[in-house]
Amino acid sequence: MRGGRSVAAVTDADFDLAAGECLALVGESGCGKSVLASALLGLLPGNAETEGTALLTSGPGRQAGPGPRGGGDRHGDGRSRADAGERPALDLLAADERTLARTVRGRRIGLVPQSPAAHLTPVRTVRAHLEETVRALTATPRRERRAAAEAAAERAAFPAGHLDRYPHELSGGLAQRAATALALIGDAPLLLADEPTTGLDRELVDRTADELRRHADGGKALLLITHDLAAARRVADRVAVMYAGRIVEIAPAARFFGEPGPRHPYARGLLGALPEREFTPVPGLPPELSDLPGGCAFAPRCARASAACEVRPEFRAGAACHHPLGATRA
């Protein structure tokens, strides 16, 4: 709810995610990417409503769907699946707070939050955060928790000399790395990384992205929410593009960043805005989610728009567009 009105922040978010796979979710600010992550973990505001299904199945060793780096388009049944196995499927959208708090958050789904400083307790040091998380999520003996906490910090490139600092003593980049270290501790079957490279220089961006990729290569699933298309290209198996609360394209990363490129004009525009490409911004501004145009939400900004775009396009062949790139226009 916003201003007494209902706002559909995310609609038609239909995808799956296999063990050993990284799906990068990209799009402009305000398009609904972080709302989607919060919905999966039950972290939306109290007045928010969800409907649909988000199935989480997990078990040792087996994967749902094709394995890493080889997946084709898989968009279809309205479920998010990670690390399929023997444990019964859990519908995250239907789970109660007790279940989410005790068995899901940190254990089955790890989270690198978008605003890490807000998730750190101000009166505890980074070391204390890490050691407490090791105690809560792993079977590490007490005498080994300090070493386990330091190992987690090293994985996230958090400097050992800052472990005894408090959150208010950290820069934004250090807070980001602390949050990444905390998320990696539980070795959860599914990791949601929401803008995990914010505030980092290019070297640290690459190091963080590589560590997240190693998490996926260890048989875990990774949903990487990011504005950084270079980081997405570095680690993603597939790319999902969100616009105005809707996923408008899903494509294998090799095709998305290479040839023939994205099929949706908005996705093509995101790539074209990169300095190493055309360096041309997408014209216009995204619509307010509370005031979406009828039909295709991107039509007011799209050079390919026609009268057909007055009708909301269905998702076909990897894109929700009446005039996808690479197709012959009627």
Q: What is the CATH number of the domain that holds 299?
A: 3.40.50.300
Whether 19 and 126 map to the same domain: the answer is no
Q: Is 115 a member of any domain?
A: no
Q: Is 52 left (phi over 0), alpha (psi -120 to 50) or beta?
A: left
How many alpha carbons lie under 13 Å from residue 145 in its C-beta half-sphere? Answer: 17
Per-residue pLDDT in tens (0 to 9) along the chain, 330 residues: 555 678 889 998 999 999 999 999 999 988 999 999 999 999 999 889 999 999 998 654 333 333 333 333 334 333 444 444 457 899 999 999 999 999 999 999 999 998 888 889 999 999 999 999 999 999 999 999 999 999 999 999 999 999 999 999 999 999 999 999 999 998 999 999 999 998 899 999 999 999 999 999 999 999 999 999 999 999 999 999 999 999 999 999 999 999 999 999 999 999 999 999 989 999 999 999 888 888 999 999 999 999 999 999 999 999 999 999 986 554
Whether 148 and 215 map to the same domain: the answer is no
Based on its alpha-carbon atoms, the radius of gyration of the chain, rounded to whole angstroms, reads 20
Q: Is 222 a member of any domain?
A: yes
| Burial grade of 167 (CB within 10 A; 0-12, 13-18, 19 or more) | buried
Rounded to whole angstroms, how far apart are CA atoms 34 and 30?
Answer: 8
Whether 74 and 157 have beta carbons less than 8 Å apart is answered as no
Place of tokens 């290209």: 233
Rounded to whole angstroms, how far apart are CA atoms 112 and 18?
Answer: 19
Q: Is 256 a member of any domain?
A: yes
Whether 98 and 30 map to the same domain: the answer is yes
Rounded to whole angstroms, how far apart are CA atoms 83 and 57?
Answer: 6
Q: Is 113 a member of any domain?
A: no
Task: State in Å, rounded, how far the first CA of the chain is from the last one.
Answer: 40
Range of the domain at 154: 121-177
Whether 283 and 261 map to the same domain: the answer is yes
Rounded to whole angstroms, how far apart are CA atoms 211 and 215?
Answer: 6
Whether 22 and 215 have beta carbons less than 8 Å apart is answered as no
Whether 39 and 168 map to the same domain: the answer is no
Q: Which residue, 136, 151, 177, sits at the end of a domain?
A: 177
Contacts of 212 (CB under 8 A, 6+ apart): 22, 180, 191, 193, 196, 222, 224, 235
Contacts of 29 (CB under 8 A, 6+ apart): 227
Whether 161 and 267 map to the same domain: the answer is no
For 100-126, the pLDDT digits (tens) are: 999 999 999 999 998 888 889 999 999
Q: What angle do CA 214, 218, 221 make, to 5 degrees?
A: 85
* Strand order across the 238-243 sheet: 109-112, 190-194, 221-225, 22-26, 238-243, 246-252, 319-320, 315-316
Counting the structural domains of the chain, the total is 2
The closest of 166, 165, 163, 160 to 121, measured between CA atoms, is 166
Q: In Å, what is the CA distance from 324 to each residue of 24, 275, 281, 292? A: 21, 24, 19, 21
Whether 230 and 95 map to the same domain: the answer is yes
Whether 127 and 154 have beta carbons less than 8 Å apart is answered as no
pLDDT at site 199: 87
The backbone torsions φ and ψ at residue 117, rounded to the nearest 5 degrees and listed phi first, read -60, -30
Q: What are the b/e assignments for 14-27, b being 16+ CB within 10 Å?
A: bbbbbbbbbbbbbb
Q: Which residue, 177, 202, 220, sits at the end of a domain?
A: 177
